[in-house]
Amino acid sequence: MSGLLVSVVLPTYNEAPNIAGAVLRVRAALSGVPHEIIVADDDSPDLTWKLAEEAGARVIRRTKHRGFIPP
């Protein structure tokens, strides 16, 4: 299927010890499949968002309206 792109979104908050490994595992699981990894981080004070960027994920860093927004 031409043009297929799988997007994996990882919502995070204070996941610094886990994020690099999570990005690597997703990448390995989707090996050979066009994909992107997006980390949606709620401005973690442990700098999860920065480590996610360093691991090669796209990052959405939410500094306002954090957490789940009710419908």
Pairwise CA distance, residues 59 & 34, whole Å? 18
pLDDT per residue as tens, the chain (71 positions)? 568 999 999 999 999 999 999 999 999 999 999 999 999 999 999 999 999 999 999 999 988 776 666 65
Instruction: List helix spans (H) across 1-71.
Output: 16-29, 48-54
Domain ranges of the chain: 6-61
CB 52 within 8 A of CB 39: yes
- Name the token pair of 59: 């990052």
- Name the token pair of 63: 């500094």
Pairwise CA distance, residues 14 & 32, whole Å? 30
